[in-house]
């Protein structure tokens, strides 16, 4: 992890937020390469879950919502962690994370556990009184539930159908950590799929499979991925089932996504608290009912860490980030063999032609070997070198990041060569 974190900082993937002021605990900034990787993950998620499906539509709802939303969802009352303080050294811990009943740092006596709500509070408007209190959303899902009827009416989707959303969420975590794994500001990719009471179990299985295949189709090592069904004692009182997708990080097996059968809880709660009818009328059967929700909820940052950890390889001669090409920040790097004007001109021309289709980088500094190493470290799948022969034979050398094999490709075939290798058609149906 330490070497990965150091590479991330050096190469412009991720660094501590506000670093020149000493950083802000558990807040992270994504640099140029991190921003590309993050965008690619979100796009690959949207592509598989919205674009390729006829039964899912997208949304982008507000971070600040009416406080009654959180009353209805149960977050105001129950979205808490148990906290204890050490009476001696004043350190604070999550009671459920402690293995002993004395302070693990100084052995001091601990206070009784008290519940700490994880939602960030702020004020809407200039008056800082109780009536103006609002919360930063701790999950994106509620925006989907409260808009369920609007979206269903607007799109004329029929159950079964889903609504997908990607956006920031905030949780005042008691113990954030493990780099970007648990932070206080993060992004979620959530999909709420509304189903009838006849085929809910089938749809739950279906989404577990679909999401599982998404990770595999983007190259995650299957030996490091597992499904962990929740035990009865872990399930929320309204949930019928929940399966976590877990990855084996250097700090152990950890949840990256939860797929849950949430019953009718979410819509029923909003029906009760808002007084609005959010039920669904099936005009084929003539039945009106509150749909069941099957939820897939993944963290963008956690998924990004998963892909980084899985791709990070330290070989004898080089460090290589074997990211799936769909996710790699740059798809192609173009190099002139030397800084000679004729070579540079052709290399830049190739770059300018390819940039309309892919994110392409150009590098003319250092030996070719060094330039390959730089691209290997940031995961660029293909490097194109323009040499003196290129000026004669109209061909370039394309080198593969993983195999390091090189092909000589004529200029008019470069785009097709790359398209064949870079196009991602996930086999997840």
Residues of this chain that interact with ligand GAP (CB under 6 A) are: 139, 141, 171, 173, 182-183, 186, 188, 190, 255-258, 297-299, 301-302
Is the Cβ of residue 183 or residue 385 nearer to ligand GAP in the bound state? 183
CA distance 316 to 314: 7
Q: Provide, rounded to whole angstroms, the least separation between the CB of residue 143 and ligand GAP.
A: 11
Is the Cβ of residue 43 or residue 173 nearer to ligand GAP in the bound state? 173
Q: What is the DSSP string of 118-165?
A: -PPEEESSS--SGGGEEEB-S-SHHHHHHTHHHHHHHHT--SSEEEEE
Q: Provide, rounded to whole angstroms, the least separation between the CB of residue 115 and ligand GAP.
A: 17
Q: Provide, rounded to whole angstroms, the least separation between the CB of residue 327 and ligand GAP.
A: 17
Cβ–Cβ under 8 Å, residues 264 and 258: no
Is the Cβ of residue 4 or residue 256 nearer to ligand GAP in the bound state? 256
Q: Provide, rounded to whole angstroms, the least separation between the CB of residue 255 and ligand GAP.
A: 5
Strands 332-336 and 114-117 come out as unpaired
For residue 165, give every residue at least 6 positions away whose Cβ sits within 8 Å of its Cβ, in sequence order, or none.
58, 59, 60, 61, 140, 141, 143, 144, 189, 190, 191
Q: Provide, rounded to whole angstroms, the least separation between the CB of residue 26 and ligand GAP.
A: 8
Is the Cβ of residue 255 or residue 377 nearer to ligand GAP in the bound state? 255
Strand-pair partners of 336: 386
Q: What are the backbone angles phi and psi of residue 173, rounded to the nearest 5°?
A: -55, 140
Distance from chain centroid for Cα 51: 17
Is the Cβ of residue 76 or residue 409 nearer to ligand GAP in the bound state? 76
Burial class (CB in 10 A: 0-12, 13-18, 19+), 157: middle
Is the Cβ of residue 302 or residue 399 nearer to ligand GAP in the bound state? 302
Q: Provide, rounded to whole angstroms, the least separation between the CB of residue 254 and ligand GAP.
A: 9
Query: In which element (H, E) is residue 383 found?
Result: strand 382-386
């Amino acid at each position: 992890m330490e070497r990965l974190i150091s590479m991330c900082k050096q190469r412009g993937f991720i660094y501590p937020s506000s670093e020149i002021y000493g950083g802000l605990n558990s807040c992270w900034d994504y640099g140029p390469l991190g921003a590309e990787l993050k965008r690619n993950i979100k796009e690959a998620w949207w592509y598989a879950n919205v674009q390729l499906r006829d039964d899912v539509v997208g949304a982008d709802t507000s971070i600040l919502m009416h406080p009654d939303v959180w009353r209805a969802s149960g977050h105001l009352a129950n979205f808490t962690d148990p906290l204890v303080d050490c009476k001696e050294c004043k350190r604070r811990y999550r009671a459920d994370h402690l293995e002993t009943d004395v302070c693990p740092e100084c052995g001091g006596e601990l206070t009784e556990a008290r519940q700490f709500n994880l939602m960030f509070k702020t004020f809407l408007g200039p008056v800082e009184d109780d009536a103006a209190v609002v919360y930063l959303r701790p999950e994106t899902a509620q925006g989907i539930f409260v808009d369920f009827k609007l979206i269903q009416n607007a799109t004329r989707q029929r159950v079964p159908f889903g609504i997908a959303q990607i956006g920031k969420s905030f949780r005042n975590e008691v113990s954030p950590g493990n780099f970007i794994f648990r932070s206080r500001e993060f992004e979620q990719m959530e999909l709420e799929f509304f189903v009838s009471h006849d085929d809910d179990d089938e749809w739950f299985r279906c989404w577990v499979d679909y999401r599982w295949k998404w990770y595999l189709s983007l190259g995650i090592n299957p030996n490091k991925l597992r499904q962990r069904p929740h035990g009865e004692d872990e399930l929320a009182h309204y949930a019928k089932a929940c399966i976590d997708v877990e990855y084996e990080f250097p700090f152990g097996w950890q949840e990256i996504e939860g797929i849950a059968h949430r019953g009718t809880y979410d819509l029923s709660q909003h029906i009760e608290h808002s007084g609005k009818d959010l039920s669904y009328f099936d005009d084929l059967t003539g039945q009106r009912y509150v749909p069941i929700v099957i939820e897939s909820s993944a963290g963008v940052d956690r998924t990004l860490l998963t892909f980084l950890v899985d791709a990070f390889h330290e070989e004898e001669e080089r460090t290589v980030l074997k990211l799936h090409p769909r996710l790699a920040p740059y798809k192609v790097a173009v190099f002139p063999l030397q800084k000679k004007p004729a070579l540079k001109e052709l290399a830049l021309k190739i770059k300018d032609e390819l940039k309309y289709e892919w994110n392409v980088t150009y590098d003319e500094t250092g030996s070719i070997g060094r330039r390959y190493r730089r691209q290997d470290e940031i995961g660029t799948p293909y490097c194109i070198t323009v040499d003196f022969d290129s000026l004669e034979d109209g061909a370039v050398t394309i080198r593969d990041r993983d195999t390091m094999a090189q092909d000589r490709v004529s200029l008019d075939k470069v785009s097709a060569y790359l398209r064949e290798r870079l196009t991602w058609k996930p086999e997840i149906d």
